[in-house]
Amino acid sequence: MNLPPHLTRIGAVGALLSTLLVGGTVSATTASAAVGSICHSALPSQADDTLRLIDQGGPFPYSQDGIVFSNREGVLPSQWSGYYHEYTVKTPGSSTRGARRIVTGEEQQEDYYTSDHYATFDLIDFDC
């Protein structure tokens, strides 16, 4: 299976390892204890649909897709305003957007998944 470029990038974990290997330091913006991880293969199939749309630049099914996610909950690593963007992961049988989202981080190109409307996040690991 050919994965879109978005699905093949190293993500935050790779960026963290690269930083450590070249003698850099790790800050709160690089790693967050409040964020778990999830294997890409464990995501619902609708998450792949959303990731493909992100790679293609849309069109997105909801007008809210692509808007700035402000991280008001403070669960994700602290970043500047506009760093994170959110996208809907469709929930079968739901008449609304549901609670599932992918939130992308701009600079380190990390992708987070939440199934509970921002209460918890998992960094998507594309290597498993």
106 as an active site residue: the answer is no
- Per the listing, tokens 């990731």 go with 51
Strands 84-88 and 101-105, by their bridges, are antiparallel
Catalytic residue among 6, 85, 86, 110: 86
Please tell me whether the peptide bond between 44 and the residue prior to it is cis, using omega within 30 degrees of 0. Answer: no
Would you say how long the chain is, in residues? 128
86 as an active site residue: the answer is yes
Cα–Cα distance for residue pair 96/128, rounded to 1 Å: 31
Point out the residues that are catalytic. 86, 117
